[in-house]
Amino acid sequence: MTELAPDPAPPLMPSRQGGARGFIRRYWLEVTLWKRILLGLILGVAFGLAVGEQAMAVKWIGDLFVRLIRMIVTPLVFFSIVSGIAGMGDVKRLGSIGARTLLMYLALTAVAVSVGLGLGTLFQPGAGMDFVGTTPQVLGEAPTLGTYLMSIVPLNPFAALSQGDIPAIIFFAILIGLGILIIGEPAAPVARLFQIGSDIMLVLVRVIMELAPFGVFALVAWVMGTSGPSTFVHVFLLACALVLGCLFQTLVVHGSVIRLVAGLPVIPFFRDIADAVIVAFSTSSSAAVLPVAMRVAEKNLGVSHTVASTTLPLGTTLSMDGTALYVALLAMFSAQAFGVELTLAQYLMVGLVCIIVAVGTAPVPSASLFMLAAVLQVIGLSAEQTALVVGFILPFDRILDMTRTVPNATSDLVVAVTVAKWEGELDEVAYRAKPVE
């Protein structure tokens, strides 16, 4: 009888290849994305403080991540808006969603301006300010409202697409979507093509977001290494007022809209938007956070593609709660620094101009500083005085910009969820459920 060979003993350790794959899957890929991004942020702070200005060596990683996101923004906005409008099936729905979205964005921006003016009055961050040693930063002339509105209509839509001119792209995409909607059934193949394009863009977003922890690490390390925590010492009152205002706008105002207007629980909302919040904070760009917000709205919050693809791209240029709050706060800072006593009429004018300026601010880092001249003209400050204010704030603006981008992002998602609930386009089961990675 042939003797059977004994079964081979099980290996004491898994193979190196299998072990590495299992380790990566268990401790990285299966970890919720926002936790990985938060880990990158914490490690970035520690690394930046440890190595100082040498953190500049890793900045290119963060720049690459932001570049990848910005690469996807233009096609995502174009395909999403066209497919979203084409999928409505009825022109009346476009008017309903668009009107509600616009009114909510303007209302939230007005509240943010009021918060900024109130905190500026309470904290008095500019009282006793001395601009000795400050290098003035001369700004270009702020565009008028008419100039801004005219620029929304592109002379060449393809040039707007190639240049990433988001307001012009949105306008052109709305017209294309509206044309498909009016033609109806004969244009169904075209509508389907844009829907497929939108789906492809969202898949690319998911792939790019796997790099987010590394990008956030590099960006935060660079900021902390070059600016350091001393930034908050130099502009302590202004920073405190801004942080408190952003927290109030995000948690109280936006939370109240979700609870009282949309009639939904607040905890699932704030739990499920962590990805968008951390990316907004680290990139300081509302445009850069748009792809993440699209993914979060549809996957985590249960917002339909139709509503998400209409409200969120519009929010990139129309919804600037943090910017509005910050510009109002800087207006109070400037008035106090130069000893200007504001009348009630000037308060109202500053508030109105802040809303207009916020709507017209480009969704890129530090853009709000370059719209400040239009607001300070209202309270009678000269171009030279405005240049002094900007020269003082500019070295510290990066960290302040990171803070104020967060309510910009949460405002977009609040409006998307609320409009979706009103339109019957919200999956409440998905909204309340914990997202599955």
Question: Is residue 5 assigned to a domain?
Answer: no
* List of residues 6+ apart from 103 with CB closer than 8 A: none
- Tell me the pLDDT tens digit for each residue of 77-125: 788 778 877 776 666 666 778 788 888 998 999 999 999 999 999 988 8
> Is position 345 within any domain?
yes
pLDDT bin (cut points 50, 70, 90) of residue 216 is: confident
CB burial readout 280-301, b (16+ within 10 A) else e: bbbbbbbbbbbbbbbbbbbbbb
Q: Which of 257, 249, 306 is nearest to 418 (CA)?
A: 257
Residue 359 lies in a domain: yes
pLDDT band at 429 (very low <50, low <70, confident <90, very high): very high
Number of structural domains (the chain) is: 1
pLDDT score of 142 more than 70? no
Share of the chain above pLDDT 70, in %: 79
Give me the pLDDT at residue 370, please. 60
Give the distance from CA 155 to its chain's centroid.
28
Identity of the amino acid at 51: V
Quick one: pLDDT at residue 268?
A: 95
pLDDT band at 364 (very low <50, low <70, confident <90, very high): low
Cβ pair 90, 98 in contact under 8 A: no
Kindly indicate the confidence band of residue 18, based on its pLDDT and cuts at 50, 70 and 90: low
pLDDT at 336: 87
Residue 74 lies in a domain: yes
More confident residue, 238 or 1: 238
Q: How many Cα atoms within 13 Å fall on the side-chain side of residue 321?
A: 29
Is 131 a residue whose pLDDT tops 70? no
pLDDT score recorded for residue 257: 97
Decide if 427 is inside a domain.
yes
Contact present, 336 and 317 (Cβ < 8 Å): no
Write the single-letter amino acid at 130.
Answer: D
**In this structure, is residue 19 part of a structural domain?**
no
- Residue 233's pLDDT is what? 44
CA distance 85 to 160: 20
Highest-confidence segment of 11-20, 133-142, 335-344, 412-421: 412-421
Average pLDDT in the 173-193 region? 87
Domain of residue 162: give its range: 33-432
Position 22 in a domain: no
Q: What is the pLDDT of residue 25?
A: 64
**Would you state the structure tokens that stand for residue 229, as one six-digit string?**
């925590």
416: pLDDT strictly greater than 90: yes
Please check the confidence at residue 199 and state whether its pLDDT lies above 60.
yes
The answer to whether residue 180 is domain-embedded is yes
- Highest mean pLDDT: which range of 295-299, 347-351, 353-357, 391-395: 295-299
- What is the tens place of the pLDDT at every residue in 222-248? 877 776 554 444 467 888 899 999 999
d(CA 99, CA 91): 13
Digit-coded pLDDT (tens) for 24-53: 666 666 777 777 877 887 888 889 888 888
Cross-strand pairs, 426: 303
Distance in angstroms (rounded) separating the CA atoms of residues 274 and 300: 10
First and final CA of the chain: distance in angstroms?
55
Q: Look at 90-99, 408-417, 426-435 and tell me which has the smallest mean pLDDT.
A: 90-99
Banded pLDDT at 431 (limits 50, 70, 90): very high
User: What is the average pLDDT value for the chain, to the nearest integer?
Assistant: 80
Rounded to the nearest 10 degrees, the angle between the axes of helix 91-123 and helix 344-359 is 130
The residue with greater pLDDT, 203 or 372, is: 203
Distance CA 110, CA 352 (A): 8
The values of phi and psi at residue 421, to 5°, are -65, -45
Instruction: Supply the CATH number for residue 85's domain.
Output: 1.10.3860.10
Q: Encode the chain in three state secondary structure.
A: CCCCCCCCCCCCCCCHHHHHHHHHHHHHHCCCHHHHHHHHHHHHHHHHHHHHHHHHHHHHHHHHHHHHHHHHHHHHHHHHHHHHHHCCCCHHHHHHHHHHHHHHHHHHHHHHHHHHHHHHHHHCCCCCCCCCCCCCCCCCCCCCHHHHHHHHCCCCHHHHHHHCCHHHHHHHHHHHHHHHHHHCHHHHHHHHHHHHHHHHHHHHHHHHHCCHHHHHHHHHHHHHHHCCCCHHHHCHHHHHHHHHHHHHHHHHHHHHHHHHHCCCCHHHHHHHCHHHHHHHHHHCCHHHHHHHHHHHHHHHCCECHHHHHHHHHHHHHHCCHHHHHHHHHHHHHHHHHCCCCCCHHHHHHHHHHHHHHHHCCCCCCCHHHHHHHHHHCCCCCCHHHHHHHHHHHHHHHHHHHHHHHHHHHHHHHHHHHHHHHHCCCECHHHHHCCCCC
